[in-house]
Amino acid sequence: MLNRKYYEGFEGEPELVLDNGENKLIIWNGYFEAILESLLETNLEKEGIIKEYFYHEGWYDDSPWALKDIQLTIKQLKNFDLSKVYQSDNIKNVLPDLVQEIIQFLEHAKNENVVITYD
């Protein structure tokens, strides 16, 4: 299944793709960065995907990049706090549903390989 819902209207701008081989979730990079920036504002350790974002490693350097610890990523995303998002209301209105969709994608793929492709 190909889910482009969170990239519609942003065609031509950077996209990020979560891919487990059968399913793809395509996200406008601005949404994904807003989520990760908000997670940096929490007391979560800078490990896993948060570390990769903070140090601009991972998918920034090597695309596609294998998401090594899906369970950790799910745990981190479950700590998403909309009050830590400082972008526009247009972005803030989308993020809670998007975070839930990413969590569901990862929960269904937790026994598979998931790669992130950054364009």
Specify the pTM.
0.91
Asked whether the beta carbons of 69 and 90 are under 8 A apart, the reply is: no
User: Residue 113: left if φ>0, alpha if ψ -120 to 50, beta else—which one?
Assistant: beta
The interaxial angle of helices 70-77 and 29-40, nearest 10 deg, is 80
What is the residue-level pLDDT of the chain in tens, covering all 119 positions? 999 999 999 999 999 999 999 999 999 999 999 999 999 999 888 888 888 888 777 556 667 888 889 999 999 999 999 999 999 999 999 999 999 999 999 999 877 899 998 87
pLDDT in tens, 47-81: 888 888 887 775 566 678 888 899 999 999 999 99
> What local confidence, expressed as pLDDT, does residue 72 receive?
94
Domain boundaries, given as residue ranges, for the chain: 2-118
DSSP state at residue 10:
-
d(CA 13, CA 55) in angstroms, rounded, equals 22
